[in-house]
Amino acid sequence: MKQGRLRVLLGAAPGVGKTYTMLEEGRRLKSAGRDVVIAVVETHGRAATKAMTLGLEAVPRRLVQHRGVSLDEMDLDAVIARAPDVALVDELAHTNAPGSRHEKRWRDVDTLLDAGIDVITTVNIQHIESLNDVVEQITGAPQRETVPDAVLRAADQIEVVDLAPQALRDRLAEGVVYPAARIDAALSNYFRLGNLTALRELALLWLADEVDSALQKYRAEHGIGEKWEARERVVVALTGGPEGETLIRRGARIAARSAGGRLAAVHVVSQDGLRGPDPRALAAQRTLVESLGGTYHQIVGDDIPEALVQFARSANATQLVIGVSRRSRLAALLTGPGIGATVVRESGDIDVHIVTHSAAGGRFALPRPHGSLTLRRRILGFALALAGGPLLTWLLTVFRSGESITSDVLSYQLLTVVVALVGGIWPALFAAVLSGLTLDYFFVDPLYTVTVDEPLHLLALVLYVVIAVLVSIVVDQAARRMRAARRSSAESELVASVAGEVLRGRDALQAFVTRTREAFGLTEVRLAVAGQEVASAGEETAPDADDPDVDDPDAGDPDSGTRDGAAAAHGMRVDRVPVNDTAVLELVGRPLRSSDRRLLAVIVAQLASALEQADLEQAAREMAPLAAADRVRSALLAAVGHDLRRPLAAATAAVTGLRASGSSLSAADRDELLDTAETGLRSLTELLTDLLDVSRVQAGVLAVTPQSVDLADLVPSTLDELGVGPDSVEIDLPAELPAVVADPVLLERVLVNLLSNALRYSPAGERVVVAASEFHGSVQIRVIDRGPGVVAERRDDIFLPFQRSGDTDNTTGLGLGLALSRGFVEGMDGTLEFEETPGGGSTMVITLRAAS
């Protein structure tokens, strides 16, 4: 039986039009003569979607009883028995009711495909298994229904049903997606503009990767090795050297010349891990690559040219950027063609750019001879040659015979090899020359003369030297690799140890300083910032009474000269290594070897990062109270200049009127003036109380008392204080809503202020709505009105003190309420934001932490 074809309509979020598009395609296929049925479609009460089902045959659903509730599911057997050409199956990630043949709907779809039925289905990006956690991180909403990526990647066709985020929000506000009761919560939570933008980008990127994977799969299945220039892919080879930044920027310019060009940087690490670049340089180059929109890769391979070309081919690269060799001309002459020449030869149809740079090798210099064996082993090698040579000669002389010359030669050769294994090249050369001369003097005719009559004897001496050199080279390389491996292991253990201590809560600076002292065996290590010691490890060297102070004019610490003099008097050295512009790492003890400098560079780089992090945290701590104090101070000054004046003026005018005309006033007029004075003084008292509370908060004497507050108890008491009832305010609090962490007194004042404003601006007959919902560990309280709202250009100003919406009536206006309300909410570690009510009006959103 022919396998059915699967077509998936992928959406970034609910409401983009996947089901509508699926039904539209079903109608088109039916008009083209195909047999199309609706296996299952969820219209969610949307009239436009329901209208699209007209004219299409729908297979009746199967009713399932579960815990006393009737659930309707797709009747898989009925659809297979109907055997249409095309089945329309909505919501691929749906979980079937218990008792169904399959637990998941995507398994039902597999069965339909096996039956030879083509399927058109829909799914949202949040239901893709590999993206489920990413979507939850973006939206804060977990998704329990997922579809394996392999199911989607096996589809014959995947299409993204795209809709701009703002257009989707407009559809939502118009009531096209959800009923009116769910619109406000949806717009404020899942359907935020930032969320929708991120989900849309995630959907497009996933599909782009799928297209790229399909292209790579096609090339692999058809054995296509040459590049396909669907887009420019530029690979930059990094060695960790100083030329890396130049190469990266050149590669970025090449990639930028074509629309959609991609940049990738790759560093090849040897399999033995012994060729190590400067870690700080590589870290900086990786940051540069990522800042330019590229990706960084690290691969393992001993044959660097082969590894580079293989990576470039696997990435379908069109351009490969490498740097000119840093080797000298003599080194290139002696060691043959370098990496660049080999890459050019092996690259095939990949364009190779060899970029010159300031670090390119240009000097004609001899390489520096150096060995990796310790001085002790070299001395031991010389001693073995000096002691073993005479001993071997005595033994061979005692057992000499006319036929023993071959064994004599091999014995001295063995001595040369043993000396090479122990002491390296110089003791081996010494032993080779000494063995050759001894052999000629004692065992080759004429005896007891150093005369070479036969050319073969001279050849034997040369062979001694060659064998000694070759064995010594092998020994030297083995020792170098062993030392590098041990050092790499020690460096890794040091960095891992420091990272572990920091993760366990220890002070990062102190941990670095302590481990630095231990790693290098120093007497003391100090970290000074701006001349002040912030961390130290080890015991300070106490100055002797007779030691003169040695002043250091470059040291910021006034005691550094004394300590340096004491260290010098005890035969120790003080090295100062700059960490950043203000910090210096002081190392007291033995001089560091050149091999220690690489590890020290890693430590200094980590110290610089830790210091920068500490500075940022300190700056944030210092700025937070200043910003809060500035906000409160501004509110206080504005209040004194504005809101105090109005009730004070009213009370003053009433009292003045009573004093001037008290005897001639009627009882009604006198009562009215007294009421005016009383109202003004009451308003003045309330305002002064608010200002006093704010000033106490600013001074730190009015403590905010956070506790668990149940909104179901707080909101009704707030309405009682305002004297309003259900005819003016609608309360929508879910039964499962958790309590919030807040100060109940301050939160009630905030709700009073917000409700007062909402009631003031709501049209007659329109009720204000107080709703709440849980979102990602927090609770959002919304005060919604259907008033005139706030014009877009003034929305940023409404929380500033005493910003009016163009009114001049002193009995109305924003006053101090919104500014103080935001201050109170922020004092409870929450936020107060403005949102536009769909259809017109204002929504004030209070976000507080949910009580655990």
Tens of pLDDT, residue by residue over 522-562, are: 788 888 888 788 888 875 433 443 444 434 434 444 455 55
Query: Would you say residue 345 has pLDDT above 70?
Result: yes
Rounded-to-integer distance, Cα 63 and Cα 72, Å: 4
pLDDT digits (tens, 9 = 90+) for 593-620: 666 666 777 777 777 877 887 778 778 7
Cβ pair 517, 542 in contact under 8 A: no
Higher-pLDDT residue of 120 and 746 is: 120
Q: Token match 């012994």: residue? A: 274
Q: Of 628 and 225, which is predicted with more confidence?
A: 628
pLDDT winner (highest mean) among 130-134, 672-676, 742-746, 774-778: 742-746
Is the predicted pLDDT of residue 39 greater than 90, yes or no?
Answer: yes
CATH for 6-221, among 3.40.630.30, 1.20.930.40, 3.30.590.20, 3.40.50.300? Answer: 3.40.50.300
Q: List, as one string, the DSSP characters of 129-156.
A: GGGHHHHHHHHS------B-HHHHHT-S
Alpha carbon distances (Å) from 324 to 247, 276, 287, 320, 341: 10, 19, 23, 13, 10
- What number of other Cβ atoms are within 10 A of residue 37's Cβ? 20
| CA 94 – CA 135 distance, rounded (Å) | 18
Which amino acid type is present at position 21?
T
Q: Where are the domains of the chain?
A: 6-221, 233-355, 375-478, 515-616, 642-702, 704-849
Contact 428, 472 (CB under 8 A): yes
Q: What is the mean pLDDT of residues 779-795?
A: 84
> Across-strand partners of 351?
319
Arithmetic mean of pLDDT over the chain? 76
Give the three-class secondary structure for 696.
Answer: helix
Phi and psi for 214 in degrees, rounded to 5? -65, -40
86-91: average pLDDT: 93
Give me the residue label for tokens 């489920």. Answer: 132
Residue 157: which of 10, 38, 3, 2 has the closest Cα? 10
More confident residue, 498 or 702: 498
pTM of the model: 0.39
Degrees, nearest 5: CA angle 768-683-803 = 60
Task: Reply yes or no on whether the pLDDT at 630 is more than 70.
Answer: no
Show the tokens assigned to 462: 């040369």
**What distance in Å separates the CA atoms of residue 612 and residue 606, rounded to the nearest whole number?**
10
Which residues touch 835 (CB under 8 Å, ≥6 apart)? 187, 188, 782, 842, 843, 844, 845
125: tokens are 């990006």
Superfamily of domain 233-355: HUPs (3.40.50.620)
Position 178, amino acid: Y
**What is the C-alpha separation between 510 and 527, in angstroms, rounded?**
9
One-character DSSP codes across 6-31: EEEEEESSTTSSHHHHHHHHHHHHHH
> What is the Cα–Cα distance from 715 to 603, expressed in whole angstroms?
57
Q: Do domains 6-221 and 233-355 have the same CATH topology?
A: yes
d(CA 549, CA 569): 10
153: tokens are 């990647």
Identity (one letter) of the amino acid at 266? Answer: V
Which has the closest alpha carbon to 125: 26, 40, 39, 198?
Answer: 198
Q: Nearest CA to 131 among 93, 185, 167? A: 93
C-alpha 565/C-alpha 543 separation (Å) is: 8
Task: Count Cβ atoms below 10 Å from residue 149 Cβ, excluding itself.
Answer: 14
Under the banding of pLDDT at 50, 70 and 90, the label for residue 435 is confident
101-115, 340-354, 532-546, 650-664: the lowest-pLDDT one: 532-546
CA 140 to the chain's CA centroid: 18
Residue type, 484: A
- Residue 229 near residue 257, CB atoms below 8 Å: no
CATH of domain 515-616: 3.30.450.30
Whole-angstrom distance, CA of residue 299 vs CA of residue 33? 55
Q: In this predicted structure, what is the pLDDT of residue 6? A: 93
What average pLDDT does this structure show over 256-277?
69
d(CA 410, CA 823): 94
What six digits make up the tokens of 473?
A: 């080279």
Q: What is the DSSP letter of 586?
A: E
Q: Under CATH, what is the fold of the domain 704-849?
A: Heat Shock Protein 90 (3.30.565)
Confidence of residue 495 (pLDDT cuts 50, 70, 90): low
Each residue's pLDDT tens digit, 101-160:
888 999 999 999 999 999 999 998 888 887 777 788 777 777 778 888 888 888 888 888
Kindly list the strands in the beta sheet with 524-529, ordered across the sheet, starting from the edge strand earlier in the chain.
532-538, 524-529, 583-589, 573-578
